[in-house]
Amino acid sequence: MVGITSYGAYIPRYRIDRGVVYKAMGWLNPGTFMAGEKAVANFDEDSITMAVAAGIDCLQGMDRGKMDALYFATTTSPYKERQSAEIIATAFNLRADIRTADFTGSIKSGTTSLLSALDALKAGSAKNAMVCTADCRIGKPGSAQEEIFGDGAAALTVGEGNVIAGFVDSCSVSYDFVDHWRADGQTFDRQWEDRFIRDVGYAKFIMEAISGLAKKCKLDVKDIAKVAYPCLYEGDHKSIGKKLGLNPEQIQDHMVSNVGYTGTASPLMMLVAALEDAKPGDNIVVASFGNGSDALLFKVTDEIEKVKGKRRGIKKHLAMRRELKNYEKFISFRNVLPVEKGIRGEIMGATAISELWRSRRQILALCGSRCKACGTPQFPSQKICVNPDCKTMDQMEDYPFSDKRGTLFTYTADLLAFSLNPPAIYGFVDFNGGGRYWFDITDADQEAVKVDMPVEMSFRKKYVDEEKGVHGYFWKAVPVLE
């Protein structure tokens, strides 16, 4: 049996109350009002970094060396050309002889990437595969999308052994249904009238896929523990459930009120949330929406108990929240509001792509070296051991730091350095097990940062060279939150 072997999720720490957004922009379209709050990626996060965070959550205790494929689904890739999945695979330090692909162009591609991974297993071309999905969609100021869109990510591994939720079957429908679109070069979605989207698309495709799946599997909807499908309109989300004959407790929380509509990531984030509460024997259906719908049925196994509670997943990330009270800061993070960086902030060294290539494992995977003679871990990788009592030459082996926690040796909060989220906090991390280096510190309030506090590493966007179109990624230190 093929199926899900592990799950993980990520929700960025910042949440903005929709009232803050409405207070700033509601004057333009009073009808955009929505209740609740939404998750907002920090200035140094994007779909790739969130996918890496969800993936790291998912890979806890898993053998990364066994992954044969990595698929990434998003509609918000930073690059049009340069595969995001490959950046993510390198960040996880996966093998090079694997299959990678980006699934994009539609917010249903999260489920499509999962189906493709399962198909690869069934075809025997992979024994273990990983699917990451994330979205960080930008709503135009004053639009309904600005209110509903939220940022987040989910990750799943699928395989043949130790399956926590076996894959039963799926049913897909595909239509060139243009509810919204975004052409090359455009920052914001355009969308057609809500009544059209709702009545012709949203109210029908999900039903069609789920009903088709139930029929195919001869499954009575009463035997489904949880059904997860995205929420574009709260009222219609409820009526889809009703029409399918589901009780409210069978419907997975769509998280629009506390995370927002996370696009491509939404169905798989809900699936992760469903798995967090699942019991062996549960049937779980997940469906997507966007140019049609994919519906997938999973049957939870006894193995679920080995993973449950051991991931940050949805629940713990929901609890790790920090309110963003400033609308202008929110839109500055997404570069919607151009801000004064000052001449210092504009200075940008060219990215040597050849350096990025030869040091890719150090930069993207935070992989340093360990001296075989004295055992000292060191970052970045050294040829001659840095231990003053050793200094052995050319006896190094790879040593990953990304999964090591450490303590903050010292730090500062710098107001001279340009940061979109000032002050720029940075400091030295002494890694548990050895090794020291200096890093930017993110997702931290200055008052909470203390010498010797525990920190962990987080994959982040380090810089964007807008002129040359380069997105630079590296690792930053963040306070350990649990």
With CA atoms as reference, report the closest residue to 221 among 287, 269, 280, 284: 284
Among 426, 443, 444, 457, binds another protein (CB under 8 A): 426
What's the distance, CA 26 to chain centroid? Answer: 29
With CA atoms as reference, report the closest residue to 9 among 270, 365, 227, 228: 270
Reading the block at residue 259, the tokens are 């995370």
Within positions 346 to 375, which residues make up the interface with another protein, using CB under 8 A? 347-352, 355-356, 359, 362-363
The amino acid occupying position 55 is G
Residue corresponding to tokens 């969609």: 137
Q: Report d(CA 396, CA 412) in Å as an integer.
A: 32
Among 309, 375, 380, 469, binds another protein (CB under 8 A): 380
Residue 374 Cβ, how far from another protein at the closest point, in Å? 11
Could you tell me the sign of the dihedral formed by the alpha carbons of 96, 101, 102, 108, in that order? negative
Residue 322 Cβ, how far from another protein at the closest point, in Å? 20
Question: Is residue 388 at the binding interface for another protein, with CB under 8 A as the rule?
Answer: yes
Of residues 246 and 363, the one with the C-beta less far from another protein: 363
Of residues 38 and 461, the one with the C-beta less far from another protein: 461
Within positions 229 to 288, which residues make up the interface with another protein, using CB under 8 A? none
Of residues 221 and 356, the one with the C-beta less far from another protein: 356
Torsions phi, psi of 353, nearest 5?
A: -60, -35
Among 435, 455, 456, 478, binds another protein (CB under 8 A): 435
Among 7, 229, 379, 459, binds another protein (CB under 8 A): 379
Question: Is residue 409 at the binding interface for another protein, with CB under 8 A as the rule?
Answer: yes
Q: Report d(CA 233, CA 271) in Å as an integer.
A: 19
With CA atoms as reference, report the closest residue to 13 among 421, 435, 425: 421
Among 29, 332, 382, 421, binds another protein (CB under 8 A): 382
Residue 439 Cβ, how far from another protein at the closest point, in Å? 6
* Neighbour order of strands in the sheet with 377-378: 377-378, 367-371, 396-400
Of residues 123 and 350, the one with the C-beta less far from another protein: 350
Q: 3-state DSSP call for residue 109? A: helix
Residues that bind another protein (CB under 8 A): 342-344, 347-352, 355-356, 359, 362-363, 376, 378-380, 382, 386-388, 409-419, 423-424, 426-428, 430, 434-440, 446, 451-452, 462-463, 472, 474
